Chain A
Amino acid sequence: MQELLQQVRILDPASQTDRVGDVSIEDGVIAQIADAIADIPSDATVIEGYGLVLAPGLVDVYSHSGEPGFEERETLYSLRLAAAAGGFTRVAVLPTTHPPIDNPASVHWFFDRQKAGFGASAQPSGGRLRPEAQPEGRQEAEGRSDKGGKGDKGDRGAVSFSSSLSSSSPLSPLPSLFPWAALTTNTQGQQMTELAELALTGAVGFTDGQPIPNLLLVRRMLEYLHPLGKPVMLWACDRELVGNGVMREGPDSMVFGLPGIPAIAETTALAALLECVEETGTPVHFMRLSTARGVELIRSAKARGLPVTASTTWMHLLLNTQALSSYDPSLRLLAPLGSPADQQALVAAVQQGVIDAIAVDHAPFTYEDKTVALAESPPGAIGLELALPLLWQALVETNQWSALDLWSALSSRPACCLQQSPAVIKAGESAEMLLFDPQQMWIADARSLRSLSANTPWFGQSIQGRVAKIWC
């Protein structure tokens, strides 16, 4: 089974490639890349790629699942469908479910559930799981390093299996979900989970997805985690300073009459956590950076050589406090939207690599959950299907960023934050990639969105740019 993409724009952040050419894919492996491929097998599927972008699959450092607990918001299956529709081939899922993923059994359940695909139906998505995604304890450590299609035998075999399945099925292949395991029991910030055992289950790393106020506990965990060598992710946020705030404090919060969250709620916590990192030497990823001052703290920490990485979310790059004038509950986010100055600083920091990754922080909530006053609504918005087209339009089409800038921040650098090998577009590598049409117009409505939820400020709006296909 061979596919041939003709005259497609090839983006590959790893090799800093941005060129037009032909690409042939054979059994899930990139067979050949050339300016023009002349000999086309008669059975090959030929895709006219003019104006389309072929690039490595996107990697999301953190998003929320509804399942278990709130399957009406999102199931693991619908999450994968949404991720696939948005061009994501790997999504790391936060443990903030009910119950939370805070013990080995939950991690095993997560992988079993993913393997089962959609309920008990014949959906054969199990075959798409990568070896390391199976709850096989010790094998995991080896399997993980294969992540991202390094192209070794085992990995290639799995991909080829998945690929042949997908070609025989009308459904596109489904991306892999990786569970983050909780740092503390019930993500309550009181007591550490059995971190060493969890590390062997195949969890991608450790995070609570929410602030841990007890610095003694943070310090002890960082010490304890040091030899485990797994990613650790923290959210710098002081709950006391947040208080009842729902948007970034500043001139806009005064005008809109919405309770403010001061920027120091992020920066004071960040400064304290950076001191803990310096003390323990344990690498930490800081999630949901949302302030200009926070960017500066990360910049200087990196300059000092601290082992830190950081991410912001796609919405923080696209919007600022002024958007809150609509009082759309979907604009209430876990880390509040920044001021226009924060937004600018974040955009610059991602482009410079000071902030490594753009996360989606996809947070599904039902219509009932969100059809309340902004201040009463649970924080979060969906985004897996919207992030790429909207970022592309806002940053690449406007020539603020190069296409490779965007792809580094959405694909290769997020993979590194997860200690995974990034996918690459290179002959001989397994095909973990997507085909993106920057021009295609579509409406983000209930019919087109694969997520079970619709909580996004772009709901009902016309979007330019859509993922045509993924390989993984």
Chain B
Amino acid sequence: MLLDENPLTVNNQVVYAEGVPFSSFGMATSTWTRRHILSLADFTPSEYNTVLQTAVSFQEVLSRRTKKVPTLQGLVVTNLFFESSTRTRSSFELAAKRLSADILNFAPGTSSLTKGETILDTAKTYLAMGTDMMVIRHKEAGVPQAIAAEMDRLDVKVGVLNAGDGQHEHPSQALLDLFTICTLLDPERPQLSLLEGKKIAIVGDVLHSRVARSNIWSLTASGAEVHLAGPPTLLPKWFREFAKGKELGVRLPRASADGSQESEDREGRGDGEDWGEIQNSKFGSVFGELTRAADSPEAKIPFGSTQASQSVSRRGEQNSPTSQSSIPYPPLVRKLFLHWHLEPALKDADYVMTLRLQKERMTSHLLPSLREYHQLFGITRDRLNLCQPNVKVLHPGPVNRGVEISSDLMDDPQFSLISQQVTSGVAVRMALLYLMGVSRGL
């Protein structure tokens, strides 16, 4: 909607002579108000679907002869990678370039970070250069949140995207995983509901994995069963309660459509806190074998109040080409299970996600050896026989061949989605940068 009204986008359409008009980039994008993408814990189904649909449009762009669109022309995207990374940074860099943004890269090796400069100083330096969006990675949790809060406090409308913070979250990775799986099921209209009833195993070092945490939120939001598997040292009992109190609800639209939400944004509480209430009910996760009835979610989760449902559908209808997004979403119990053995997690699984195992886990008494880990939790061809016949395997990379997954399996296109994940990454990250642009009134 914003795009249609903006004269600049009329010009933009000329550039797309080859393809679809710009306005078809996504349906509900005009309702995208999330300035920062820091965590998936409070993402709503309609937000997931908006990301998926937008990414489809950009994937189409990436299949053209000219793979570049002027969407973010004139905007500056800064990669603030306090923790070094090549793969994710390259993916974001390419995504920003495809959107015609100018891109700055901050590399810790060459910076003054070691001497006195705080993380906020660094962020403000790039802000002063005119940065519009920051893509942030840090080896400790919470840094993107801190910078987002500071940007909101300064009232500068800079969007922050969490590209991995410590062991906390890595939203863009989880969204590209979601996109990879959903496009496999329906290349034209990937959407969250396609995963309903599917069984997805996440195997390995869940404790230290930001990818796993983001994936738990997105995959459980779809109505899929998520089964975590790993040794107790890498999958602590506490994960039973991971999703407790985090039922997925209907996001209530804020106040009214009279601009009050704008001003609320400016107040700058920022990182998702100023989202409308999530309708919660009592219990979150359904626990697997480790749980004895205790927390049984027998308490029936009520559907969202009619008021909430109505307002959502009203919003959804605005310019949604899909009928799907106008259906109200009932609050949904996240289905999360824990396994300290691999077999029950793999049994009849539709998808298996393996996680990278850091070699240094051995020094902190978490594992006896990589060899034993592979024996117990390594994904091999034999073990995939437990799964559904057409099971697919994902890995966020980089892979320790022969540890998390056997080497030949990783290269087998019948099972492995690893290269599709990397390809999807660019389209999904383009979608995220674009949506953040929408939220700031592109």
Contact = CB atoms under 8 A, between A and B. Distances in A.
Contacts of B168: 256-258
Contacts of B141: 256-258, 327, 373-375
B142 A373 contact: yes
Interface stretch (B238-246, B253-261, B351-359, B395-403): B238-246
Given A243-B364, A251-B242, A257 B213 contact: yes
A257 B169 contact: yes
Contact of B167 (A259, A326, A368): A259
A438 to B, nearest CB: 29
A17 interface: no
A15 B253 CA distance: 56
A373 B80 CA distance: 14
A197 interface: no
A366 to B, nearest CB: 10
A432 to B, nearest CB: 41
**Which of A251, A255, A368 has the most chain B CB atoms inside 10 A of its CB?**
A255
Interface stretch (B5-13, B114-122, B376-384): B114-122
B128 to A, nearest CB: 17
A320 to B, nearest CB: 14
A374 B140 CA distance: 8
A254 interface: yes
B143 interface: yes
A251 B239 CA distance: 6
A253 B142 contact: no
A367 B146 CA distance: 14
B119 A371 contact: yes
A327 B162 CA distance: 14
B152 interface: no
B270 to A, nearest CB: 11
B213 A373 contact: no
A257 B238 contact: no
**Which of B138, B139, B236, B364 has the most chain A CB atoms inside 10 A of its CB?**
B236
Nearest to A371: B118
B330 interface: no
B213 A255 contact: yes
A441 interface: no
Contacts of A372: 118-119
A374 B142 contact: yes
Contact of B41 (A255, A373, A376): A255
A376 B146 CA distance: 13
Given A256-B168, A258-B166, A368-B118, A376 B140 contact: yes
B74 to A, nearest CB: 31
Contacts of A326: 145
Interface string A328-363: 000000000000000000000000000000000000
Query: How many of chain A's residues touch chain B, expressed as a range?
Result: 20 to 34
A327 B146 contact: yes
B210 interface: yes
Interface string B238-276: 111110100000000000000000000000000000000
A368 B118 CA distance: 6
Interface string B202-242: 00000100100100000000000000000000001011111
B165 interface: yes
Contacts of B41: 255
A254 B118 contact: no
Given A243-B364, A258-B168, A375-B141, A251 B120 contact: no
A373 B119 contact: yes
A254 B119 contact: no
Interface in B110-145: 116, 118-121, 138-143, 145
A368 to B, nearest CB: 6
Contacts of B121: 371
A429 interface: no
A254 B242 contact: yes
A258 B169 CA distance: 11
A260 to B, nearest CB: 8
Contacts of B120: 371
A368 B116 contact: yes
A154 interface: no
Contacts of B240: 251
A367 B120 CA distance: 11
A373 B139 CA distance: 9
A254 to B, nearest CB: 5
Nearest to B117: A368
A259 to B, nearest CB: 7
A254 B238 contact: yes
In the A-B complex, the 8 residue pairs with the smallest Cβ-Cβ separation, listed nearest first, are: A327-B142, A257-B168, A373-B140, A371-B118, A257-B167, A251-B241, A375-B140, A257-B141
Interface of B: 41, 116, 118-121, 138-143, 145-146, 165-169, 207, 210, 213, 236, 238-242, 244, 364
Given A257-B210, A327-B143, A375-B166, 4 more contacts: A254-B207, A256-B141, A257-B167, A373-B143
18 contacts: A249-B236, A249-B238, A251-B238, A253-B238, A254-B239, A255-B41, A255-B242, A257-B168, A257-B169, A258-B168, A327-B142, A373-B138, A373-B141, A373-B146, A374-B140, A374-B142, A375-B141, A375-B166
